[in-house]
């Protein structure tokens, strides 16, 4: 069975004091042991947030695929691990669109994480014009085939996928539960086609895009939605804990 996961992507928000207060508040309020909670603070704060994590899985929003060297401004998997980080996002739409990360680069990151035995959430999702053209399934399938589905079955079964329609991220415009379920079911069926049923059932598929304490219950009740990757609503402990409690 796929794990239930609620993950907070803090993006470039909060200072160190706010970050520590947020993880402490979530720890105080959250009583759900059946839900894996993850936090992705700015890389600078991973050590401090991990020190307070108390079971929350802490990681970075990005990393570079090389082990070390002259890559100014980047962080490597081993460095993330050395401060208590256990996981990273790969291919968030903001990395793809603002920083120009290509499928080829994301594939190198996926391979680096797998060979280091480092967990990751692979993000995918279509922009508005693709949704309007009705070709979102082909688009998302191509993203997965380009950077993820080359992995062997043993690696893919540990992967978490986040489906995040770009038009829903930070816009307050959530996908309906029908739209989310339709894409999540399609993603699971492609895993069956590329691997097998058993593998597909182990992969957690998260929804992301203006998910909040008011709509999480309906989204999480969809059979193929195993949780959420949460941006804005992960910055407030009450809202984030209410989302965790929506299962
Ligand atoms: C995200 O950035 O991954 C995200 C889902 O953001 P928001 O919840 O703010 O739409």
User: Per-residue pLDDT for 181 more than 90?
Assistant: yes
pLDDT single digits (tens) 84-99: 999 999 999 999 999 9
| Chain mean pLDDT for the chain | 97
**pLDDT at position 170:** 85
Residue of the CA atom closest to atom 2 of ligand 1: 231
Per-residue DSSP letter, 32: -
- Strands 119-124 and 227-230, bridge-based pairing: unpaired
The reply to whether ligand 1 has any atom less than 6 angstroms from the CB of 208 is yes
CATH class held by domain 5-244: alpha beta
The reply to whether ligand 1 has any atom less than 6 angstroms from the CB of 232 is yes
The reply to whether ligand 1 has any atom less than 6 angstroms from the CB of 91 is no
Q: Atom of ligand 1 at shortest distance to CA of 233? A: 8
**pLDDT at position 223:** 97
**pLDDT at position 172:** 83
Query: What is the best residue among 209, 227, 235 to mutate for testing ligand 1's pocket, by most ligand atoms within 8 Å of CB?
Result: 209
Please state, in angstroms and rounded to a whole number, the distance separating the CA atoms of residues 142 and 144. Answer: 5
Residue 209, helix vs strand vs coil: coil
User: Terminal CA-to-CA distance of the chain, rounded, Å?
Assistant: 15
Contact yes or no for 87/59 (Cβ under 8 A): yes
Q: How buried is residue 120: exposed, middle or buried, by Cβ count under 10 Å (0-12/13-18/19+)?
A: buried
The reply to whether ligand 1 has any atom less than 6 angstroms from the CB of 9 is yes
Distance in Å, CA 233 to ligand 1 centroid: 8
User: Per-residue pLDDT for 173 more than 90?
Assistant: no
The reply to whether ligand 1 has any atom less than 6 angstroms from the CB of 227 is no
Catalytic residue numbers? 92, 164
Q: Output Rg (C-alpha) for the chain, integer angstroms.
A: 17
For the chain, give the percent of residues with pLDDT over 70. Answer: 100
**pLDDT at position 245:** 97
Distance in Å, CA 64 to ligand 1 centroid: 22
Report residue 132: phi and psi, to 5°.
-65, -30
Which among 216, 207, 150 has a CA at the least distance from the CA of 9? 207
Distance in Å, CA 87 to ligand 1 centroid: 18
Contact yes or no for 8/228 (Cβ under 8 A): no
Distance in Å, CA 232 to ligand 1 centroid: 6
**pLDDT at position 111:** 98
H or E segment and range at residue 6: strand 5-9
**pLDDT at position 190:** 98
The reply to whether ligand 1 has any atom less than 6 angstroms from the CB of 231 is yes
pTM above 0.95, yes or no: yes
User: Per-residue pLDDT for 1 more than 90?
Assistant: no
Confidence band, pLDDT 50/70/90 cuts, at residue 192: very high
pLDDT single digits (tens) 108-158: 999 999 999 999 999 999 999 999 999 999 999 999 999 999 999 999 999
Question: What is the arithmetic mean of pLDDT over 164-192?
Answer: 95
The reply to whether ligand 1 has any atom less than 6 angstroms from the CB of 164 is yes
For the chain, give the percent of residues with pLDDT over 90. Answer: 98
pLDDT single digits (tens) 143-153: 999 999 999 99
Q: Atom of ligand 1 at shortest distance to CA of 212? A: 8
What residues have CB less than 8 Å from 59, skipping those under 6 apart?
A: 38, 39, 40, 46, 80, 85, 86, 87, 88, 89, 119
Per-residue tokens: 216: 């999480």
Distance in Å, CA 94 to ligand 1 centroid: 10
């Amino acid at each position: 069975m796929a794990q239930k996961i609620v993950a907070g992507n803090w993006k470039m928000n909060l200072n160190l004091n706010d970050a520590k207060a947020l993880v402490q508040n979530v720890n105080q309020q959250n009583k759900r042991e059946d839900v894996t909670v993850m936090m992705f603070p700015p890389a600078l704060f991973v050590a401090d947030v991990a020190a307070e994590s108390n079971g929350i899985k802490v990681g970075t929003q990005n990393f570079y695929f090389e082990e070390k060297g002259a890559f100014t401004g980047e962080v490597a998997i081993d460095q993330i691990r050395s401060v208590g980080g256990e996981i990273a996002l790969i291919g968030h739409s903001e990395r793809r669109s603002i920083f120009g990360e290509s499928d080829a680069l994301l594939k190198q990151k996926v391979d680096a994480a797998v060979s280091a035995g480092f967990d990751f959430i692979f993000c995918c999702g279509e922009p508005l014009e693709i949704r309007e053209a009705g070709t979102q399934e082909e688009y998302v399938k191509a993203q997965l085939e380009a950077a993820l589905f080359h992995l062997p079955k043993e690696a893919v079964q540990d992967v978490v996928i986040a489906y995040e329609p770009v038009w829903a991220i930070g816009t307050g415009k959530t996908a309906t539960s029908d739209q989310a379920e339709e894409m999540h079911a399609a993603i699971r069926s492609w895993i069956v086609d590329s691997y097998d049923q058993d593998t597909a059932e182990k992969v957690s598929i998260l929804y992301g895009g203006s998910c909040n304490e008011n709509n999480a219950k309906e989204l999480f009740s969809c059979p193929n939605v195993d949780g959420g990757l949460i941006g804005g609503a992960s910055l407030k402990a009450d809202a984030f804990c209410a989302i965790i409690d929506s299962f």
